[in-house]
């Protein structure tokens, strides 16, 4: 597991820029942005929009990011 939190936001199709996305157009909550919350799960205010990997993300990178949530059991 990396020594730092991993943000799934950076590889999500809904991420825009400046800490914003389709689910959180004003600002992504810090727990999601800093990799302390698995946004494959529902979060208050996400309007039903959840993490979806971009097509250009390698399987190894995706497994590395999502695997940290499984190891930490942060849901």
**Span 12-66, pLDDT tens digits:** 999 999 999 999 999 999 999 988 899 999 999 999 999 999 999 999 999 888 8
Helix (H) or strand (E) holding 62: helix 59-72
CB 28 within 8 A of CB 19: yes
Which residues on neighbouring strands pair with residue 20, listed in sequence order?
none
- The backbone region for 45, taken as left when phi is positive above 0, alpha when psi lies in -120 to 50, beta otherwise, is left
Burial of 38 (0-12, 13-18, 19+ CB in 10 A): buried
pTM summary value:
0.82
């Amino acid at each position: 597991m990396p020594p730092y939190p991993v943000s799934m936001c950076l590889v999500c199709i809904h991420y825009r820029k400046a800490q914003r996305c389709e689910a959180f157009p004003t600002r992504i909550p810090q727990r999601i942005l800093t990799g302390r919350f698995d946004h494959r799960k529902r979060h208050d205010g996400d309007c039903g929009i959840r993490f979806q990997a971009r097509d250009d993300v390698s399987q190894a990178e995706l497994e590395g990011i999502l695997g940290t949530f499984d190891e930490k059991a942060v849901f």
